[in-house]
Amino acid sequence: MENNIEVRRWLEDFNLSHPLVIAGPCSAETEEQVLDIAKQLKQSDVTIYRAGIWKPRTRPGGFEGVGAIGLKWLQKAKEETGMLMAVEVANAHHVQLALEHDIDVLWIGARTTVNPFAVQEIADALAGTDKIVLVKNPVNPDLALWIGGVERLYNAGIEKLGVIHRGFSTYEKTKYRNIPEWQLAIELHERFPNLPIICDPSHITGKRDMIQQVSQQALDLNYDGLMIETHNNPDKAWSDAAQQVTPDTLKQILKNLVVRHKSVEGDAFNDKLEKLRLRIDEYDTKLIEILGNRMRIADEIGVIKKENNVAILQNRRWKSILEKMKAGGKEESLGEEFILQLFRAIHQESINHQQNVINKEE
């Protein structure tokens, strides 16, 4: 699939002068609400109207969607606005109902992507159709699962494919509802450059006042489009109220976005860029050398701990390092989350080295 242009053609067929925009409420609530939002979005750069019909919930008792009746509302919205309609599907029955109601775009949610059996069931149900199918990243940062979901659909003969980056769950408290892990999405895009990638800043942030910032970050990384939850009365929404914006706010967000050139022709630009990239390459090489030297010291520490029968993990020392590095990072204008992730990874590798030393010849 890596070199298959067909999976991208559906997006190019829109012939858009701007990134693809998918917008609409988290949940379809009433026919009036669905139609009102659709008519307002018709006046903006929205190409595809989205609305949740079936809402997966972690625990029972919450609003789980209006069900199949909502598909009739979307049909009416399509007739009155001409926009394409999109819904989330989690099983073959959902697919069948969506097809019966002429839904144009189906997306597979994060909770479904983690289940290869469910994805295969959906792929089988869609075989032979000409629908656009988008795969959200799995809840946890597992690139293989994400790619596997796309491959199952492609193997079923579905070529109008794309992915949605909606962030990943974490037990840690961060400013995001779901941490972006941008590098994971970038790696997927590098491996499958013809696969359209859409950012869902609503689920990444969980807060409407951060949507502009994350949307711009996505466009700066050459994403093909955005999926933004939009409601005519967000504070009264039946689900995910905090992350939804009004149609007017959406228009302003889209107006403020800067779409950057992927490249610029000209020797002067390319020369400057190449020189800066060479400097980065030099620093990256030095970083690897420094990390190698650091781990060799960790090996020596492992030897001493083994000789003295001392535990590998020293919590007080680790907390001291973390606080020191957070302070140092702040002085260098480095984000706290970046410093935490970086030094946790370094610490884990150091533990691995010490463990290998202690296990050796035991």
Q: Give the mean pLDDT per block of 10 residues along the chain (362 residues).
A: 79 93 97 98 95 82 87 97 97 97 98 97 95 97 96 95 95 86 89 95 97 94 95 96 97 93 72 80 87 93 90 88 92 92 93 89 56
Q: Which of 187, 214, 188 is nearest to 203 (CA)?
A: 214
Structure tokens at 292: 């190698």
CA of 42: how far to CAs of 12, 24, 35, 71, 82, in Å?
20, 11, 10, 19, 8
Q: How far apart are CA 82 and CA 259, in angstroms?
A: 26
> Phi/psi of residue 123, each to 5°?
-60, -45
Q: What pLDDT was estimated at residue 264? A: 66
What's the gap between Cα 42 and its chain centre? 25
- Measured CA to CA, the distance from residue 170 to residue 183 in angstroms comes to 16
List all residues 6 or more positions away from 118 whose beta carbon is below 8 Å from its beta carbon.
90, 91, 112
pLDDT at 173: 78
Q: Say which residue the tokens 């390319």 belong to.
A: 270
Residue 51 to residue 24: CA distance in whole angstroms? 6
Q: Considering the domain 267-359 in this protein, what is its CATH number?
A: 1.20.59.10
Question: pTM for the whole thing?
Answer: 0.78
CA 243, CA 212: separation in Å to the nearest integer?
12
pLDDT, position 361: 57
| CB within 8 Å of 232: residues ≥ 6 apart | 25, 33, 36, 37, 40, 246, 247
Question: Residue 27 is inside which H or E element, if any?
Answer: none
| 189 in Cβ contact with 227 (< 8 Å) | no
Q: What is the pLDDT of residue 362?
A: 54
Question: CA 110, 115, 138: angle at the middle one, nearest 5?
Answer: 25
User: Which residues are CB-neighbours of 81 under 8 A, at least 6 positions away?
Assistant: 38, 39, 41, 42, 49
Q: At which residue do the structure tokens 């260098």 appear? A: 332
Of 165, 172, 252, 171, the closest CA to residue 208 belongs to: 252
Distance (Å, whole) CA 24 – CA 244: 9
The two three-digit tokens of residue 237, written as one number = 């929404």
Q: How far is C-alpha 293 from the chain's CA centre?
A: 35
Closest CA to 81 of 44, 113, 106, 112: 44
CATH 3.20.20.70 domain span(s) along the chain: 6-256
What's phi and psi for 244, nearest 5 deg?
A: -100, 150
Question: Which residues are CB-neighbours of 198 under 8 A, at least 6 positions away?
Answer: 20, 22, 134, 162, 163, 164, 165, 223, 224, 225, 226, 227
Q: How far apart are CA 282 and CA 286, in angstroms?
A: 6
Task: List residues bridging with 84 in a β-sheet.
Answer: 48
Cα–Cα distance, 39 to 318 (Å, whole number): 56
- The CATH number of the structural domain formed by 6-256 is 3.20.20.70
- For residue 300, give Cα distances in angstroms to 158, 252, 304, 321: 55, 57, 6, 18
353, two tokens: 């080295």
Whole-number Å distance between alpha carbons of 162 and 179: 21
